[in-house]
């Protein structure tokens, strides 16, 4: 960590993404205090040298606080109701990596300013394996000085930081829009591979052609492999989170009077997948929705 100041940082939320991110902070030499609603998730980090806080507020007493929580409800419960905002000393920077609504992003920025602490929105692109490798793409928006203060932490977790201005909600709306595009890509592959299956071409063969030619990009290639193999567990990005994010896109569109007609289609497809009963799956399970609609199994395709 030559040339980089060792920072005292609290990390809140140790799901698959958060645990990988906190691990990279430890590997970079930072002093990390961790907290998770389910305490067992903190033990692997403790074995790597992290301090385990008894509550979220205790983890918030440092140079910076990083949080990777599931949704708006969880962020409210931890940051507001859990005492984190009150526990942060004036001048502390909170970098929020969660994908939250535009409305909550604005509320968080106002609340932090009222408490004399800095707020940076820093949602990420990348699945857990990318997080573990320290190669996340991190979208950031907030005060330039606040971003600069947490830059060593962001650099420890990502391959590139993408500044998007001073209004924190800009980073969140970019993340929401990006996830909308990913959902659209998955839905298009799901429907197209159902079509080819009905005409005797396997999903694996068709998607290999597409991801080697017209759509030779990491997002298409990664999800195509899951669809071809019908491998939806463990979930790299869980179905309920995908449903949540498409809902956030619709809400952001409504607030700004931006029609998103295809987002409505995606929401209904994701809801249909949820109605099938298994939530602990990757959102690429949308391919099964398209197959069921076409009754491909009944037709022997």
Contact 137, 159 (CB under 8 A): yes
- How high is the pLDDT of residue 274? 97
Which letter does DSSP use for residue 76 in this model?
I
Cα 209 from Cα 199, distance rounded (Å):
16
Last residue of a domain, one of 116, 149, 166: 166
pLDDT digits (tens, 9 = 90+) for 236-293: 999 999 999 999 999 999 999 999 999 999 999 999 999 998 789 999 999 999 999 9
Last residue of a domain, one of 166, 187, 205: 166
Assign 224 a pLDDT band (cuts: 50, 70, 90): very high
| Confidence check: pLDDT of 5 > 90 | no
Instruction: Provide the percentage of residues in the chain whose pLDDT is more than 70.
Output: 99
- Note whether 162 and 194 are same-domain residues: no
The total number of structural domains in the chain stands at: 2
Active-site residue, selected from the candidate residues 8, 27, 175, 244: 175
Q: What is the mean pLDDT of residues 216-232?
A: 97
Assign 119 a pLDDT band (cuts: 50, 70, 90): very high
Assign 159 a pLDDT band (cuts: 50, 70, 90): very high
- How high is the pLDDT of residue 38? 94
Cα 208 from Cα 220, distance rounded (Å):
10
| Confidence check: pLDDT of 175 > 60 | yes
Q: Which residue has the tokens 């009944």?
A: 298
- Note whether 177 and 134 are same-domain residues: no
| Confidence check: pLDDT of 1 > 70 | no
- Note whether 161 and 188 are same-domain residues: no
Sequence-distant (≥ 6) Cβ neighbours of residue 212 within 8 angstroms: none
* 242 assigned to some structural domain: yes
| Confidence check: pLDDT of 167 > 70 | yes
| Confidence check: pLDDT of 3 > 80 | no
* 301 assigned to some structural domain: no
| Confidence check: pLDDT of 118 > 70 | yes
Cα 243 from Cα 270, distance rounded (Å):
6
Whole-angstrom Cα Rg for the chain: 20
Cα 9 from Cα 11, distance rounded (Å):
7
- How high is the pLDDT of residue 278? 79
- How high is the pLDDT of residue 229? 97
Q: Which residue has the tokens 């419960």?
A: 77
Quote the domain boundaries for residue 147: 8-166
- How high is the pLDDT of residue 4? 65
* 132 assigned to some structural domain: yes
For residue 23, which phi and psi values (nearest 5 degrees)? Answer: -60, -40
Cα 225 from Cα 245, distance rounded (Å):
22
- Note whether 202 and 233 are same-domain residues: yes
Q: What is the mean pLDDT of residues 160-188?
A: 98
Length of the chain: 301
- How high is the pLDDT of residue 216? 98
DSSP run (H or E) holding 246: helix 239-255
pLDDT digits (tens, 9 = 90+) for 183-209: 999 999 999 999 999 999 999 999 999
- Note whether 212 and 272 are same-domain residues: yes
- How high is the pLDDT of residue 36? 97
- Note whether 151 and 215 are same-domain residues: no
pLDDT digits (tens, 9 = 90+) for 54-89: 999 999 999 999 999 999 999 999 999 999 999 999
pTM (2 d.p.): 0.94
- Domain of residue 153, CATH code: 3.40.50.720
175 is a catalytic site residue = yes
């Amino acid at each position: 960590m030559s040339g980089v100041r060792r920072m005292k940082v609290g990390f809140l939320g140790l799901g698959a993404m958060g645990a990988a991110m906190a691990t990279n902070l430890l590997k970079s030499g930072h002093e990390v205090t961790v907290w998770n609603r389910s305490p067992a998730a903190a033990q692997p980090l403790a074995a790597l040298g992290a301090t385990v806080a008894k509550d979220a507020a205790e983890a918030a007493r440092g140079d910076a606080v990083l949080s990777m929580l599931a949704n708006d409800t969880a962020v409210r419960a931890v940051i507001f109701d859990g005492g984190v905002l009150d526990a942060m000393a004036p001048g502390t920077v909170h970098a929020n990596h969660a994908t939250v609504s535009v409305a909550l992003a604005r509320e968080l920025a106002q609340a932090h300013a009222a408490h004399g602490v800095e707020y940076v929105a820093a949602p990420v692109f990348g699945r857990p394996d990318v997080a573990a490798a320290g190669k996340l793409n991190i979208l950031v928006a907030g005060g330039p000085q606040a971003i600069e203060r947490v830059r060593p932490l962001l650099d420890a977790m990502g391959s590139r930081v993408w500044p998007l201005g001073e209004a924190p909600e800009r980073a969140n709306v970019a993340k929401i829009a990006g996830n909308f595009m990913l959902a659209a890509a998955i839905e298009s592959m799901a429907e197209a591979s159902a079509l080819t299956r009905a005409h005797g071409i396997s999903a694996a063969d068709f998607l290999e052609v597409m991801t080697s030619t017209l759509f030779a990009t990491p997002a298409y290639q990664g999800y195509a492999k899951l669809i071809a193999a019908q491998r939806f567990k463990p979930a790299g990005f869980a179905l309920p989170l995908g449903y949540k994010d498409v809902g956030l896109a619709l809400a952001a569109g409504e607030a700004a009077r931006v029609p998103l007609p295809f987002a409505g289609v995606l929401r209904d497809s994701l809801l249909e997948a949820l109605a099938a009963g298994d939530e602990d799956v990757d959102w690429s399970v949308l391919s099964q929705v398209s197959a069921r609609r076409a009754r491909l199994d009944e037709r022997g395709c």
